[in-house]
Amino acid sequence: MDYDALVVGRGIGGMESALKLGDMGYRVLVVEKEASVGGRMVLLSKVFPTLDCASCIATPKMAATAHHPNVTVLTDSEVEAVSSDGGGRFLVRVHTRPRFVDLAACTGCRQCEQACTVAVPDEWNGEMVSRRAAYIAYPQAIPQKALIERRGTSPCTDACPAGIRAHGYVSLVRSGLYEEAFQLLLEATPLAATLGAACYAPCETVCTRGELEGPVAIRRLKRFVAERHYATADGPGVTPGEPNGRRVAIVGSGPAGLTAAWQLARAGYGVRVFEAGPEPGGFLRQAIPAYRLPAELLDQDVANVTALGVEITTNSPIADVAALKVEGYDAVLLATGTPESRPLGIPGEDLEGVQAGVAFLRDVRAGHPPDLAGKRVVVVGGGNVAMDSARTAIRLGASETRVAYRRGREEMPAHRAELNDALTEGADLELLVAPVQVIGDADRRVAALRCRRIELGEPDDTGRRRPVPVPGSEFDIECDVVIAAVGLTTAVETFAGALLGAPPAGPVDERTLQSVIPWLFAAGDLVTGPSDIARAVGQGRQAAQAIDRWLCGERRGLATVPDPLGVVDRAEVLARQKSHSRRESGLRPVNVTPRPRDFDQLEPPIGEEDARAAAGRCLDCGVCSECGQCLPACPANAIDLSMRGNDRSLEVGAVVLATGYRIFPADLKPQYGHGRFANVITGLQMERLLAPTRPYTSVLRPSDGKIPMRIAYVMCTGSRDESVGNPLCSKFCCMYSLKQNQLIMGVLRFAEVTVHYIDIRAVGKGYEEFFEQSKGMGVNFVKGRVAEIRETPEANLILRYEDVDHGTLAEAEYDLVVLAVGVQPNQDLGQLLAAQGVAFDDRAYVDEVDEDYRPTATSVPGIFVAGALSGPRDIPESILHAGAAAIQVAAHLESLKAPA
């Protein structure tokens, strides 16, 4: 048996049972789902009727439980399964969530909390103030150690193939930490501005805000961050790692090559990049049109790489990789992309006026555009190269630009925005057609493109419907120029077989990107086939990691592609709020106009105010944004975002259920306006306002921070009320209200307090006297129910109530209203317990089947209940009850030992 007893829940009841059992010498495991122990009591101001400080009573018990030699406590943990072994013992499974903070190292200094960029409502303070994603629950929390609320990886971060922590930099921009955001981007890639201008932004496609008015402008924020850095700083602000004496050659300076170079240089490698073209950048420089990615932006990104000492040798096509090895490089990375266009494979392709898409784009970017003025252009293909070619042709003055594609519009692989922009700029679509021949004139110049109509058949293995030619449907599109954009291929033949010959796994290992020749690696489109910048960046990072590991056998300071936590559910994110107000992006839209004639960048840059507001639309899906600010802030180096949860299976001799009650959700009484009227609060919120560790400066109105002078209490909110399905009295709301009345009169000497009640239930030693004392202090008691509450323009509250003593219906105005909310049974473990045969009473509290003779025993031998889980109980009663449970457990455990 691992433990004699399992105690579930560590409120005052659970603590009492655990301590008593521990004192008797039994080994006890306490499982608490929250981050701290102590339950509700420690959050209260004082206790009735003694007015002793609640935390002064609870905190020593919390500490005693935490340090008792026979008691082990698991916080952030939940019991996921309980089953009886048939012999009076139980098998239990406990899941512990990761805290992302090393408990042994954390000193509780709260530096992480100060640095954290995500604000969420502080549930420990009645949601009246914020806390951070990194936090310590409250000042008396035990353990006094931080934890990070991470509900999963945010969809944007999860979707980024480059492994950029998108949510992280959005959250940094929201906080005005622009340089920090830039540095976060640099952890992944030097190409911050490039991605900010030309990434297809898969992050935005999945952004949860997209379910509301539209996604957060995640990509444009990246450009803002990069441009702001470039405008103010000289160099990337990153120092290369200590030289480690190793040299790596990288062939190709596209996004994969540049990113790998950057990562390796940061880790201390000597890196040289060989580029066949006249300038670095690969397709970024040679293919992506300037209206999407101006050369200046790319230049600034490339300068990051050279600033770390990486040498880029241009005009240096490499044909013999083995020679590089001989030259002394320890590893070689091929990142040469897919520079070759696939031919159309039809007669007439050699006619003058037929050009490959990428070659066409390359000529234009190199400053040698063909003369298309007044010409009729047909672009064959439906992908992004086809769109770029069509839009470039329009800018060069083509009189007519048609895009001929063999499937339908829905099947076009081009990014939607690219397609729409091409159409706005004046491209026409010719869908469901396949070229069969280029027709030439007498001078062998293009005169027309002969096409055949297509029908769509069954889906092929890509899921797209297969194009089937319609016999006899040939027709000619008259034109002067045909641009073939039907696909790209690698040029690996250049490497004289270095990469070939390793079937069936393909030329490189998918994970390590290592080829059959150990020192030779490959990354980017060369490996994946034509993809996009972000994917190539991700490949560059992956290759750098693999090279580092291969050469140095360990990961040393090299920013790794994060290991995601599992993506958070978008529906769950949206459900965290009762309502979402509309919040437009406010950014100037991209200025796409018909028939543009220049290559100026289309997307306007965004200014600081707009950027911050745009970032403010983020919903903090994963809660923690992974911005990383807490990591350097923690002096104890205790933060560990790679921590994961764990499951334990244990055998125990008995179970004590002590998960307490649940507060009645006050918004289930809409006529009282909680959640709508700022100055209607609950009794629990008032407890916090009166506590020494209160969220506000004093007892103040949430609407305007003024001191309330007229305060009303509405008793029995959610209790003794069939309209919300709870006819039971919650037992302690009368007493806590009386306690609060007295405390308020101490804090706000001139305040008037009125209690609207049905009857006051002051049953207990000294309770009636306490009631009389409240009356004596001047609390005004009005017998009768409150019908409704309205709000005035000054945020005051008008109560409409019955006055039973005077037989009238009346109205009165107050500055603040406190709803004395009652309790409901906590059904957290309901299903689990029911499956074990634990009986519940008709109000869903755990049933003490033999309350008179064996109090705390449930219907299952060996399972006991302590505190408010079996019915509303105040603190003294909960402690008594929990003590009784401990005795029952001891008797049960002894009976297990007794010979049969």
Partner 1 sequence: MSRDIREVVRDEPLMRDRLLELLADGPLTVPELAAAAHMPASEVMVWLMGMRKYGYVFEEKGPGRLFEYRYSAVKRP
Whether residue 143 is preceded by a cis peptide bond, meaning omega within 30 degrees of 0, is: yes
Window 638-667: contact mask with ligand FAD (x via CB under 6 A) = --------------------xxxx-x----
Q: CA nearest 54: which of 874, 888, 883, 891?
A: 874
> Taking a C-beta distance cutoff of 8 angstroms, is the pair 862, 654 a contact?
yes
Can you tell me which of 27, 95, 362, 612 binds partner 1, judged by CB under 8 A? Answer: 612
Q: Which does 280 bind (CB under 5 to 8 A by kind): partner 1, ligand FAD, ligand SF4, none?
A: none
**What is the rounded CA–CA span in Å between residue 109 and residue 772?**
45
Residue 333 forms beta bridges with which residues?
Answer: 250, 521
> Could you say whether residue 325 binds partner 1 (CB under 8 A)?
no
> Could you say whether residue 34 binds ligand FAD (CB under 6 A)?
yes
**What is the rounded CA–CA span in Å between residue 509 and residue 515?**
6
Site residues (CB under 8 A) for partner 1, limited to 682-701: 695-698, 700
The residue (of 431 and 663) whose beta carbon lies closer to ligand FAD is 663
Q: Which does 176 bind (CB under 5 to 8 A by kind): partner 1, ligand FAD, ligand SF4, none?
A: partner 1
**What is the rounded CA–CA span in Å between residue 665 and residue 315?**
70
Output the smallest distance, CB 133 to ligand SF4, in A: 4
> Could you say whether residue 705 binds partner 1 (CB under 8 A)?
yes
**Residue 831 dihedral angles phi and psi, to the nearest 5°:** -65, -40
Output the smallest distance, CB 835 to ligand SF4, in A: 36
Segment interacting with ligand SF4, rule: CB under 6 A, options 35-43, 87-95, 208-216, 376-384: 208-216
b/e code 582-609 from CB counts within 10 Å (16+ = b):
eeebebeeeebeeebeebebbbeebeee
The residue (of 65 and 679) whose beta carbon lies closer to partner 1 is 679
Can you tell me which of 117, 253, 304, 742 binds partner 1, judged by CB under 8 A? Answer: 117
Output the smallest distance, CB 874 to ligand FAD, in A: 3
The residue (of 387 and 829) whose beta carbon lies closer to ligand FAD is 829
Q: Could you give the strand order of the β-sheet that contains 752-757, starting from the edge strand earlier in sequence?
A: 680-682, 816-821, 710-717, 752-757, 780-783
Chain-centroid distance of CA 130 in Å reads: 18
Distances 539 to 205, 388, 524 between C-alpha atoms, Å: 21, 24, 5
Q: Which does 227 bind (CB under 5 to 8 A by kind): ligand SF4, ligand FAD, partner 1, none?
A: none
Q: Which does 239 bind (CB under 5 to 8 A by kind): partner 1, ligand SF4, ligand FAD, none?
A: none
Segment interacting with partner 1, rule: CB under 8 A, options 331-339, 471-479, 613-621, 731-739: 613-621
Segment interacting with ligand FAD, rule: CB under 6 A, options 44-52, 144-152, 627-635, 752-760: 44-52
> Could you say whether residue 61 binds ligand FAD (CB under 6 A)?
no
The residue (of 148 and 261) whose beta carbon lies closer to partner 1 is 148
- Burial, 140: exposed, middle or buried (Cβ in 10 Å; 0-12, 13-18, 19+)? buried
Window 857-886: contact mask with ligand FAD (x via CB under 6 A) = ----------xx----xxxx-x--------
Output the smallest distance, CB 14 to ligand FAD, in A: 5
b/e code 629-654 from CB counts within 10 Å (16+ = b):
bbeebbebebbbbebeeeeeebebbb
> Could you say whether residue 176 binds partner 1 (CB under 8 A)?
yes
> Could you say whether residue 611 binds ligand SF4 (CB under 6 A)?
no
Residue 790 forms beta bridges with which residues?
Answer: 798
**What is the rounded CA–CA span in Å between residue 103 and residue 50?**
36
> Could you say whether residue 45 binds partner 1 (CB under 8 A)?
no
Token code pair at residue 90: 């139980």
**What is the rounded CA–CA span in Å between residue 403 and residue 484?**
10
> Could you say whether residue 167 binds ligand SF4 (CB under 6 A)?
yes
Q: Which does 134 bind (CB under 5 to 8 A by kind): ligand FAD, partner 1, ligand SF4, none?
A: ligand SF4
One-letter amino acid identity for 873?
A: R
> Could you say whether residue 710 binds partner 1 (CB under 8 A)?
no
Q: What is the dihedral of CA 559, 564, 567, 568, to 10 degrees?
A: -80
> Could you say whether residue 49 binds ligand FAD (CB under 6 A)?
no
Can you tell me which of 6, 116, 185, 735 binds ligand SF4, judged by CB under 6 A? Answer: 116
> Could you say whether residue 571 binds partner 1 (CB under 8 A)?
no
Which single residue is written with the structure tokens 């898409």? Answer: 357
> Taking a C-beta distance cutoff of 8 angstroms, is the pair 735, 770 a contact?
yes
Can you tell me which of 115, 422, 482, 559 binds ligand SF4, judged by CB under 6 A? Answer: 115
Window 795-834: contact mask with ligand FAD (x via CB under 6 A) = -------------------------------x-xx-----
Distances 434 to 460, 515, 559, 608, 637 between C-alpha atoms, Å: 17, 38, 47, 48, 61
Output the smallest distance, CB 617 to ligand SF4, in A: 7
**What is the rounded CA–CA span in Å between residue 717 and residue 666?**
7
Q: Which does 755 bind (CB under 5 to 8 A by kind): partner 1, ligand SF4, ligand FAD, none?
A: none
What contacts 24+ positions apart, CB below 8 Å, involve 120-123?
Answer: 120/149, 120/620, 120/623, 122/695
Segment interacting with ligand FAD, rule: CB under 6 A, options 252-260, 427-435, 731-739, 888-896: 731-739
The residue (of 216 and 248) whose beta carbon lies closer to ligand SF4 is 216
Q: At what angle do helices 218-232 and 178-186 cross, to 10 degrees?
A: 100
> Could you say whether residue 629 binds ligand SF4 (CB under 6 A)?
yes
Can you tell me which of 40, 228, 694, 756 binds ligand FAD, judged by CB under 6 A? Answer: 40
Token code pair at residue 14: 């659970």
Q: Which does 867 bind (CB under 5 to 8 A by kind): ligand FAD, partner 1, ligand SF4, none?
A: ligand FAD
Token code pair at residue 408: 């339908």
> Could you say whether residue 207 binds ligand SF4 (CB under 6 A)?
yes
**How do 446-459 and 433-440 pair as beta strands?**
antiparallel
Distances 705 to 128, 302, 329, 748 between C-alpha atoms, Å: 12, 52, 68, 14
> Could you say whether residue 738 binds ligand FAD (CB under 6 A)?
no
> Could you say whether residue 66 binds ligand SF4 (CB under 6 A)?
no
Extended strands (E) in 265-314:
270-274, 311-313
> Taking a C-beta distance cutoff of 8 angstroms, is the pair 19, 64 a contact?
yes
> Taking a C-beta distance cutoff of 8 angstroms, is the pair 30, 18 a contact?
yes
The residue (of 173 and 733) whose beta carbon lies closer to ligand FAD is 733
Q: Which does 223 bind (CB under 5 to 8 A by kind): partner 1, ligand SF4, ligand FAD, none?
A: none
Helices within 351-383 (DSSP H only): 357-365
The residue (of 374 and 616) whose beta carbon lies closer to partner 1 is 616
> Could you say whether residue 607 binds partner 1 (CB under 8 A)?
no
The residue (of 448 and 684) whose beta carbon lies closer to ligand FAD is 684
> Taking a C-beta distance cutoff of 8 angstroms, is the pair 384, 292 a contact?
no
Segment interacting with ligand FAD, rule: CB under 6 A, options 299-307, 642-650, 681-689, 755-763: 681-689
Can you tell me which of 36, 55, 111, 625 binds ligand SF4, judged by CB under 6 A? Answer: 625
**How do 520-522 and 823-825 pair as beta strands?**
unpaired
The residue (of 462 and 577) whose beta carbon lies closer to partner 1 is 577
Q: Which residues in this chain contact ligand FAD in the complex, by CB under 6 A? A: 8-14, 31-34, 39-41, 44, 47-48, 78-79, 658-661, 663, 683-684, 687, 732, 736, 739, 826, 828-829, 867-868, 873-876, 878
Q: Which residues in this chain contact ligand SF4 in the complex, by CB under 6 A? A: 115-118, 133-134, 148, 154-156, 166-167, 170, 207-209, 216, 218, 618-621, 624-630
